[in-house]
Chains A and B, each alone.
Chain A
Amino acid sequence: MSNVTVERVVKRFGSTRALNGVSVEAGSGITGLLGPNGAGKTTLLRILATVMAPTAGEVAILGRNPASPRDRLEIRRRLGYMPQEPGFHRNFTAFEFVDYVAILKEMTNRRARHAEVKRVMHSVGLRDVEDRRIKALSGGMRRRVALAQALLGAPELLILDEPTAGLDPKQRLRFRETMSHLGEDRSILLSTHQTEDVAALCPRVIVMNHGTALFSGTPSELADVARGSVWLSAERAAEAHLSYRTGEGRYRNIGPAPANAELVDPTVEDGYLVLLGDEAIVEAA
């Protein structure tokens, strides 16, 4: 069953079209949204989080229509949202901030609310810093505070805009662990720049560019897009779209077969690069 359905959605800001007739679906489990900057990922996630309405097209979230006030409230009761650049009241401690959001989420009983705040702080590994002021926390910790507030009330649908940005490798692994637990019994939609996140976490991936969806499928299907065009060679391949020296000293080439090269299995990243074509390669370089 689809928890999120988006059909031919357009979003204009003045004369620019952030979304250009995008259609996507997401069911239970984790769906990763991949794409370069300006692809429309954040705009799409903000529409799905009921922050704004589309200019045109159809949106259904948890089987409800966010344009109707009553449905929108119902969606908000079942939704957790982590914005790309979450703002904080910097004088609050981490605990006070999450508690503040818990109040906005209609948890007025103090005992139950504090227990829930403790639970989410623990699940993102912030228990030890809960009484530190937000302004004294590192960027990675602040992102975890933002994630903690999204988890309040164990929502059925989680919308996370670049949750792994600014996390160090250890935090990233911890985040993956948290997500894979959560993804077992709810829908998670997350955007990322990291193909490794998608490969490690997401049973489904959507690739966006220029306000539309270019691809929707499993990570191995995305990797398959590059099947037959990834080669390892001793020399730099002149004909390749992209050629770079790997840690082992050989060149990894995407494009037509160079001389004396070995065809290798593509990765999710290879598939992503082939799908986006020259644009992705310019960005990667």
Chain B
Amino acid sequence: MSWHVHAETLARYARGTVDATQQFSVEAHLVSCGACRASIASFVDVRALERTWDVIEGETAAPPAGAIERLMVGFSIKEHIARLLAATPSLRRSWLLAIAAVLTLAVLVANGAPNGYVFFLAVAPLLPLAGIAAAYGPGIDPTYEIGLVAPMRSVGLLLIRAVAVLVSTIVLSTIAALFLPGFDWRILAWQLPSLGLVTGSLALSTIVHPLRAAIAVAATWLVGISAAAAIVSSPTPARAVFGGVMQLVLLIVTIGAGVFLVARREEFERGEHR
């Protein structure tokens, strides 16, 4: 090969700013000239090219992902996280439909019964709790054992799933709350109870089976709410029971349980059937 493409032309070709005739000429030459192929490499961002290939090969080498995973990726959730979430038993359609059914019932009660608000506010935080109890653990996750002995931290998988369950349930509950009588944004304060109950249950899961932990926390919650509702005599019992004192208590519980959970996270790796 007696001639080589001018460096400046190569640079323009790499940027895509040459005209069609020049483009054909450069390409025809590149096919047969190793020296020019080597010199064009310096004008190209190889890492960007690698990333492009990653995407292309990732898309073409694998069978296409399911609808739920594609939806999650659409919400800019990373592809591998979406796959971990797709395996969550309590993110399946049947589970979400069950949650919607319970919320519908709670809304009907809130609209129909006296003090129905208290019922709604007592039930709503239990839904994410149930969802997380059904998201991870021996006898619940069919691949628990394989997941346990894989190097990814079990607590990581559990938290990823817990957040996803919490978010999906909160979205559904918020929609349900719009149908409550005399809707008021303050009603969304029940999200703190959700967080408190979930964190408490996860913390307790480091001692007992996650399902037992969830049942214990739910029972404590219901007993506490019933006791508080029995003690207060107020024309607006919902506001009295779910007022500032309870929110403060739950905030403390959330923080305390969170610290406990982080301190004891290694317990999830032991795998002993607690």
Contacts and interface: CB of A to CB of B under 8 A. Distances in A.
Contacts of B220: none
A99 B62 contact: yes
B63 interface: yes
Interface residues of B, number: 36
B interface secondary structure, majority = helix
Q: Which of B80, B142, B266 has the most CB of A within 10 A?
A: B80
Nearest to A88: B142
B62 A83 contact: no
Contacts of B269: 69, 72-73
B157 interface: yes
Contact of A105 (B92, B143, B150, B266): B150
Contacts of A96: 63, 65-66, 83, 86
A87 interface: yes
A114 B57 contact: yes
B256 interface: no
B80 A114 contact: no
A125 B268 CA distance: 35
Q: Which of B53, B151, B157 has the most CB of A within 10 A?
A: B151
A79 to B, nearest CB: 6
Interface string B133-153: 000000001111111111110
B149 A103 contact: no
Contact of B58 (A50, A89, A95, A114): A114
Q: Which of A46, A53, A101 has the most CB of B within 10 A?
A: A101
Nearest to A73: B151
B45 interface: no
Contacts of A103: 80, 83-84, 152
Interface in A88-140: 88-93, 95-96, 99-101, 103-106, 108-111, 113-115, 117-118, 130-131
Contacts of B146: 81, 83, 86-87, 101, 104, 149
Interface string B67-82: 0000000000001100
A76 B92 CA distance: 29
Contacts, number: 111
B28 interface: no
Given A93-B63, A99-B83, A114-B62, A51 B57 contact: no
Interface of B: 53-55, 57-58, 61-63, 65-66, 79-80, 83-84, 86-87, 92, 141-152, 157, 266, 269-273
Interface of A: 46, 49-53, 69, 72-73, 76-77, 79, 81, 83, 86-93, 95-96, 99-101, 103-106, 108-111, 113-115, 117-118, 130-131, 149
Closest 7 pairs (CB-CB, A-B): A87-B142, A104-B150, A131-B63, A110-B58, A111-B54, A104-B152, A76-B151
Given A46-B145, A100-B86, 15 more contacts: A51-B271, A76-B149, A83-B146, A87-B146, A96-B65, A96-B86, A103-B152, A104-B150, A105-B151, A105-B152, A106-B150, A106-B151, A110-B79, A111-B58, A149-B146
15 contacts: A51-B145, A51-B148, A52-B270, A52-B271, A69-B269, A76-B150, A87-B144, A89-B143, A96-B63, A103-B83, A104-B152, A106-B152, A110-B54, A117-B62, A131-B63
